[in-house]
Structure 1
């Protein structure tokens, strides 16, 4: 794991939010019930990586819990997976988990609007966000020059045309997690990156 996966506390152990918990393993697993292992699916709080975790029989984990992304604390083993590998229940929980991650570390995401820089001479990181074109980007840049944004509410109040800046981030993060062939990633990293 990289430091990009550390949570919003000062701990070096990465954390993840549980998206789904399957106490009897996957239903598509044809093995007898006694051979199936309890599973959890989670998204890391730092780099939005997806994990499948094989749990110990006594693991006490529920959807929405924050768990360390390592062995121990009920986790027997884990590995990173792609979006397509998530069961339907985990996919439907993903947006809520991302919102929870943003709410728990709001300043980190407000600072994205404060600190975003050009990616190339023709493309700015802000333009990667859904609904932000040249005019809205320039408006954000102009307002942040005068004074950094303090919250999502401050951002929305000062930048005309930017509605629900947190939802814009959620949409972008979901896109980065679910789309394999994106040229630019701001939030969701993959192991090869």
Structure 2
């Protein structure tokens, strides 16, 4: 049972990473069922999905997994860890993350506009790969005048900043793989 203080995170849509029409090869027994591995778009959660009968899914296909009537997915089996992904799903993961970041660019640009200090010595912006103290202060000073509107705007206004979209993608990949202490984007 979920403790009352913990909020349940629900995904509405997912990007299919891999579809196994006969289930995992390691599963035993005659009751094997089709399974799909996907990435939730809003919270970037790795999920195991059970498709409906006679539905064939393709990698990079976007499917609805919310509370309403689902066309392709019967039910969500649950969250999975990165090390449980198939090799195909692992290869498709970065492409899916790039697609999710591109689709919801305003959310990730908003992070640069609203990032706050974590402690006296550390800022949320410093958690991004390739951003140190100098870039952090440049971003903070630039956003005081006018908030950033896009990744291109961010790159144009902050000198020598590595590609912000790639920075966010790297951080998300690192969080999905379980390498990070703080979860900024992945829930």
Please classify the TM superposition score into its range, dividing by the shorter chain length.
0.7 to 0.9
Q: Structure 1, residues 89-119: CA drift from partner, whole Å, max 9, x if none?
A: 1111111111111111111111111111111
| Counterparts of 2:126 and 2:78, CA distance in 1 | 32
Number of aligned residues: 179
What's 1:25 paired with? Answer: 23
**After TM superposition, where is structure 1 displaced by more than 6 Å over at least 4 residues in a row?**
none
Per the alignment, do residues 183 and 160 of structure 1 end up closer, same or farther by CA in structure 2, a change over 3 Å counting?
same
| Counterparts of 1:119 and 1:46, CA distance in 2 | 23
What's 1:97 paired with? Answer: 96
Report the secondary structure of 2:78's partner residue.
Answer: strand
TM-score of the aligned structures, taking structure 1 as reference length = 0.85
Question: What is the CA RMSD across the aligned residues, in angstroms?
Answer: 2.0
| 1:45 has 2:44 as partner | no
Report the secondary structure of 1:76's partner residue.
Answer: strand
Q: Structure 1, residues 151-192: CA drift from partner, whole Å, max 9, x if none?
A: 111111111121210000000001111116x32110111xxx
Report the secondary structure of 1:123's partner residue.
Answer: coil
| Counterparts of 2:71 and 2:85, CA distance in 1 | 22
The gaps in structure 2 that reach 5 residues or longer are: 1-6
Report the secondary structure of 1:19's partner residue.
Answer: strand
Contact 1:58 1:74 in 2 (8 A): no
What's 2:71 paired with? Answer: 73
Q: Structure 1, residues 63-104: CA drift from partner, whole Å, max 9, x if none?
A: 112222357423233211111111111111111111111111
Report the secondary structure of 2:153's partner residue.
Answer: helix
Contact 2:15 2:41 in 1 (8 A): yes
Per the alignment, do residues 138 and 42 of structure 1 end up closer, same or farther by CA in structure 2, a change over 3 Å counting?
same
| Counterparts of 2:103 and 2:90, CA distance in 1 | 20
Per the alignment, do residues 3 and 168 of structure 1 end up closer, same or farther by CA in structure 2, a change over 3 Å counting?
farther
Once the 2 structures are TM-superposed, how far is the Cα of residue 61 of structure 1 from its aligned partner? 2.2
What's 1:157 paired with? Answer: 156
| Counterparts of 1:4 and 1:56, CA distance in 2 | 23
Report the secondary structure of 1:101's partner residue.
Answer: helix
| 1:87 has 2:94 as partner | no
Q: Structure 1, residues 30-87: CA drift from partner, whole Å, max 9, x if none?
A: 435xx32111101111211111112222224221122223574232332111111111
What's 2:182 paired with? Answer: 184
